[in-house]
């Protein structure tokens, strides 16, 4: 446990790493994980791949966790790490059109959720990044929001428009919570509890929960008709849509990667392919018009 903490990993990553070590221990209940040899570790990984049929990304988590434990912590630089092949077949992310995004955002009647999902889309944020925004993170002079809860602990700044800044100021003034831009309402609050929503938000010491924004998205996509599409619309779909729309608008790949918090250009390049699909669809539509 102490070794994982000293590696500077975030709490979630620590839990994942330790979780795979516990699973290995459970797989060999009569052996100490410190005494398990490389053959047994390889057999465990093969079990995960062939018997449990884990997704490539999950299997990679297991390999990284066990490799860190045995190679970096115990000094056992085995050759087994190269003997298991992980083939990643990542599907293209689902992207909404600008009209679909507009329709989805218009569906939110609760000001909290409309403000939250607008920021997620216009800034290309992950769900947890937006929830962690505090009033002090919004720089009205420079028109940027500082993201302090980025993936891997990385911080970055994303630009906002003057219009979005004004909308966020109006929203914040509606609750004036000193701690969070998107405060929760506290456990057990509802419309009949006798405390106004504004007061509940003002007093809250915590941001909105992931469960609450998931529920809001589920209700909104049903109401606006997106629940019947062949691909599921999630909160992360807004981030995918932001990236694709920015590239379609002429923003460079490098700049979009910086806005998304990607440490390399590779994950951002996926969205270029989506813009190519959009262009092909446009060409097909033009051909239809020409033949009509």
% of the chain with per-residue pLDDT over 90: 50
Catalytic residue list contains 126: yes
Predicted local confidence at residue 172, as pLDDT: 96
Catalytic residue list contains 240: no
Residue of 151, 156, 206, 218 with catalytic role:
151
The average pLDDT across 54-80 equals 87
Strand 144-147 with 156-159, pairing:
antiparallel
16-25, 149-158, 189-198, 255-264: least confidently modelled range: 189-198
How high is the mean pLDDT of the chain?
Answer: 86
Residue with the bigger pLDDT between 163 and 54: it is 163
217 pLDDT higher than 90: yes
Residue of 167, 175, 239, 245 with catalytic role:
239
Catalytic residue list contains 94: no
Long-range contacts of 31-40 (CB under 8 A, 24+ apart): 33/69, 34/74, 38/70, 38/76, 38/78, 38/79, 38/80, 39/80
Q: For 11-57, what is the HEC assignment? A: HHHHHHHHHHHHHHHHHCCCCCCCCCCHHHHHHHHHHHHHHCCCCHH
The average pLDDT across 78-89 equals 77
292 pLDDT higher than 50: no
Its pTM stands at 0.72
Instruction: Give tens-digit pLDDT for 127-144.
Output: 999 999 999 999 999 999
The average pLDDT across 24-28 equals 94
158: β partners: 145
Catalytic residue list contains 179: no
Phi-psi region of 171 (alpha: psi -120 to 50; beta: other; left: phi over 0): alpha
Q: Is 151 helix (H, G, I), strand (E, B) or coil?
A: helix
Catalytic residue list contains 50: no
Residue of 113, 116, 121, 271 with catalytic role:
271
- State residue 30 phi and psi, 5-degree precision: -95, 5
Instruction: Give tens-digit pLDDT for 135-190.
Output: 999 999 999 999 998 777 789 999 999 999 999 999 999 999 999 999 998 666 66
Q: Which domains does the chain have, with CATH numbers?
A: 2-82 (1.10.150.130), 98-286 (1.10.443.10)
Please provide the DSSP assignment of 60-105 as one string.
HHHHHHHHIIIIIIT----SGGGTS-----PPPPP---HHHHHHHH
Predicted local confidence at residue 245, as pLDDT: 92
Catalytic residue list contains 202: no
Instruction: Give tens-digit pLDDT for 230-258.
Output: 678 999 999 999 999 999 888 889 999 99
Q: Please state, in angstroms and rounded to a whole number, the distance separating the CA atoms of residues 55 and 58.
A: 5
Q: Please state, in angstroms and rounded to a whole number, the distance separating the CA atoms of residues 158 and 251.
A: 14
Going by pLDDT thresholds of 50, 70 and 90, the confidence category of residue 208 is very high
Q: How far is CA 197 from CA 110, 142, 176, 192, 201, in A?
A: 11, 31, 12, 10, 6
């Amino acid at each position: 446990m102490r070794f994982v903490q000293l590696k500077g990993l975030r709490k979630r990553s620590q839990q994942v790493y330790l979780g795979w070590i516990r699973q290995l221990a459970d797989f060999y209940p009569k052996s100490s994980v410190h005494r398990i040899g490389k053959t047994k570790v390889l057999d465990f990984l093969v079990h995960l791949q062939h018997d449990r049929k884990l997704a490539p990304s999950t299997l990679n988590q297991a390999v990284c966790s066990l490799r860190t434990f045995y190679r970096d912590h115990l000094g056992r630089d085995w050759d087994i790490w190269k003997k298991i092949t992980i083939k990643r077949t990542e599907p293209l992310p689902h992207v909404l059109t600008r009209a679909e995004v507009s329709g989805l955002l218009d569906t939110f009647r609760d000001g909290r959720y409309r403000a939250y999902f607008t920021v997620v889309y216009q800034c290309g944020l992950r769900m947890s990044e937006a929830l962690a925004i505090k009033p002090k993170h919004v720089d009205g002079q420079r028109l940027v929001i500082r993201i302090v809860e980025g993936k891997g602990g990385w911080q970055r700044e994303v630009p906002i428009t003057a219009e979005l800044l004004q909308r966020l100021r109006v929203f914040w003034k509606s609750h004036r919570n000193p701690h969070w831009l998107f405060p929760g309402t506290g456990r057990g609050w509802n419309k009949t509890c006798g405390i106004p929503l504004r007061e509940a938000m003002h007093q809250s010491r915590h941001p909105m929960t992931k469960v609450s924004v998931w529920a809001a998205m589920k209700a909104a996509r049903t109401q606006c008709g997106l629940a019947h599409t062949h691909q599921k619309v999630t909160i992360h779909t807004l981030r995918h849509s932001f990236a694709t729309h920015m590239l379609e608008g002429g923003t460079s790949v490098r700049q979009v990667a910086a806005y998304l918090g990607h440490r390399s250009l590779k994950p951002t390049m996926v969205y270029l392919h989506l813009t190519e699909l959009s262009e092909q669809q446009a060409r097909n539509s033009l051909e239809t018009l020409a033949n009509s």
